[in-house]
Structure 1
Amino acid sequence: MTQIRTARFAIGQTVRHRDDAFKGVVMDVDQAYAGPAVDLGLLHADQPFYRVFALGDDGGFIAYAAESSLEAGGLALDPGEIARWFATDDQGHHAPLDAGLH
């Protein structure tokens, strides 16, 4: 019997990496690892993986992160970061400016 996992984070939700590698907004969710064949180390491939529009010192980039590596909340985007990188809907969900909100 296959176990179906429910993603803990929603598209448009702000998250941060547990090791403070980045903070950003969830753009897409894979039910399990769907990247290239690589050694994931201690990460389990059968957990949700997220594409996150992340903010770094040099601007935005796309990160692919395991659910176990991410945390919700604790992320305070300052108004300048929000205006520069994201469109925001009435419910506080964010999307990259060039992607638009769904």
Structure 2
Amino acid sequence: MTQQHTKTDQAPAAPSFRTAKFGIGAVVRHRIYPFRGIVFDVDPVFDNTEEWWLAIPEEVRPRKDQPFYHLLAENAETEYVAYVSEQNLLPDTSGEALRHTGIGEMFVRDDAGTYRVRDRAPN
């Protein structure tokens, strides 16, 4: 007697990740809202709470299957940390320096205006 084997215990397919369009230190601006910022971290896909995602109005709610960026962000009034989907970001080509007070802790701006991650000396 032979046994029939069925493949029911397959591992789930690995999520497909897109390559992030912006890297650490990239200066970006929001495509709708008037703010800009510098990327300090990237999630390959959405990695925030469901509550946060559902709080975004449905007509502008981004897809979850794309890179999301942590930004040291600023607008005309204030500085803050933002979490933004790739579909809502554009490169900021203004060349204007950012004023966010957190930038100096993480980045150095070179003579060409490019932000590089600051070297961290061990404590």
TM-score, normalisation: structure 2: 0.64
1:70-85 to 2 correspondence within 5 Å?
70-78=89-97, 81=99, 85=103
Larger gyration radius, structure 1 or structure 2: 2
What does residue range 1-102 of structure 1 map to in structure 2 within 5 Å?
A: 1=13, 2-37=15-50, 38-39=53-54, 41=58, 42-78=61-97, 81=99, 85-86=103-104, 87-89=108-110, 92-93=114-115, 101-102=118-119
Structure with the higher fraction of residues in strand conformation:
1
> Residues of 2 paired with 1:70 and 1:64: CA distance?
11
CA contact (8 A) 1:22 1:56 kept: yes
Q: What is the alpha-carbon root mean square deviation over aligned residues? A: 2.8
Q: Which amino acid aligns with 1:28?
A: D
CA distance in 1, matches of 2:69, 2:100: 20
Evaluate the alpha carbon distance shift between residue 59 and residue 52 of structure 1 in structure 2; reply closer, same or farther with a 3 A threshold. same
The one-character-per-residue Cα deviations of 1:5-51 (angstroms, maximum 9, x if unpaired) are 10000100100000143111001000111111132533110100000
Give the drift of 1:67. 0.2
d(CA) in 2 for partners of 1:82 and 1:44?
28
Counterpart AA for 1:56: N
Where relative contact order (Cα < 8 A, 6+ residues apart) is larger, the structure is 1
Q: Is contact 1:55-1:61 (8 Å) kept?
A: yes
Aligned-pair CA distance for 1:94: 5.0
Q: How far, CA to CA, are the matches of 2:111 and 2:93 in structure 1?
A: 20
